[in-house]
Copies of this chain bind each other. A is one copy, B any other.
């Protein structure tokens, strides 16, 4: 039931350890959150132009389980865990889709490389002070949360 974005590891994402630089998983997770919001019709630049508000990240917790490498194909998920009037908590995972080494066992697919929990808050873009989300935004997220809270969810 998760939203998922597929992406590729490029040189820019790696470091001299030969693996994806850990800070870049935050970028991967944000791309997935952005596309997850877009899938609900929420475009952040337009939202800012119309309401004067933006989302900011206020807390992040990440566990790095296994490394990703150049050319790996990843799946980045986003699951809304909690939605308040001024903030959201989102659970995210980064999974390995296609390991670059062809000899990898089939069960290496869908390996979780990284898990994260991200808290984002809604603020006024000019003052960066916390604010209540616009009604339309809150409503969209609420309807989404309802559709997620089904028995099938896991």
Residues on A lying within 8 angstroms of B by beta carbon are: 8, 10-12, 14-19, 21-24, 26-27, 30-31, 34-35, 43-46, 49, 54, 56-64, 67, 69-71, 100-102, 125, 128
Contact assessment for B59 and A62 in the assembled complex, using a CB-CB cutoff below 8 Å: yes
Residues of B close to A22: CB separation below 8 A: 26, 56-57, 60
Q: Which of A19, A24, A60, A61 has the most CB of B within 10 A?
A: A60
Residues of B close to A8: CB separation below 8 A: 31, 34-35
**Neighbour of A15 across the interface among B16, B45, B128, CB < 8 A:** B16
- Bound CA–CA A51/B45 (angstroms): 25
- Bound CA–CA A101/B16 (angstroms): 16
Nearest CB of B to A34, in Å:
6
- Bound CA–CA A59/B114 (angstroms): 10
Residues of B close to A67: CB separation below 8 A: 56, 128
- With A17-B54, A63-B58 already in contact, the answer to whether A45 and B26 are too (CB < 8 A) is no
- Bound CA–CA A64/B128 (angstroms): 12
Question: 21 A-B residue contacts at CB 8 Å?
Answer: A10-B30, A10-B31, A11-B16, A11-B44, A12-B21, A16-B16, A16-B19, A16-B69, A17-B54, A17-B56, A18-B18, A18-B125, A22-B60, A23-B23, A23-B24, A43-B71, A45-B69, A45-B70, A56-B64, A58-B64, A59-B64
